[in-house]
Amino acid sequence: MKRITLYQRLKPEAKAGLKLNALKGYDFSTDIIVGLLKSTQFYSDLTIDQVKNIIVFSDVKPKSVFDMQYGDFLFEPDLDEAP
């Protein structure tokens, strides 16, 4: 079974934030982020700088340190990882 990408798991409010920032003229940056998310399957594969850019351009802010550690504020759970 093919794993889903981070872009497919991205929460709707984060996708909306990326689209809005693309319309505001940040399309180069948002295109890079979308390409990255479409080619990555695991949150742990992202660098801190990549996560920072996703936060900035999605306008979705973490509420705790655990959000940053696990990415739950940005992504829906991966059902393939459930026990």
Q: Concatenated DSSP letters for 28-76?
A: HHHHHHHHHHHT---GGGS-HHHHHHHHHHHT---SSHHHHHH-TTTB-
Q: Cβ-count burial of 25 within 10 angstroms (0-12 exposed, 13-18 middle, 19+ buried)?
A: exposed
Domain layout of the chain by residue ranges: 6-76
What are 4-15's pLDDT values in tens digits? 999 999 999 999
Condensed to tens digits (0 to 9), the pLDDT of residues 17-29 reads 999 999 999 999 9
Is pTM beyond 0.75 here?
Answer: yes
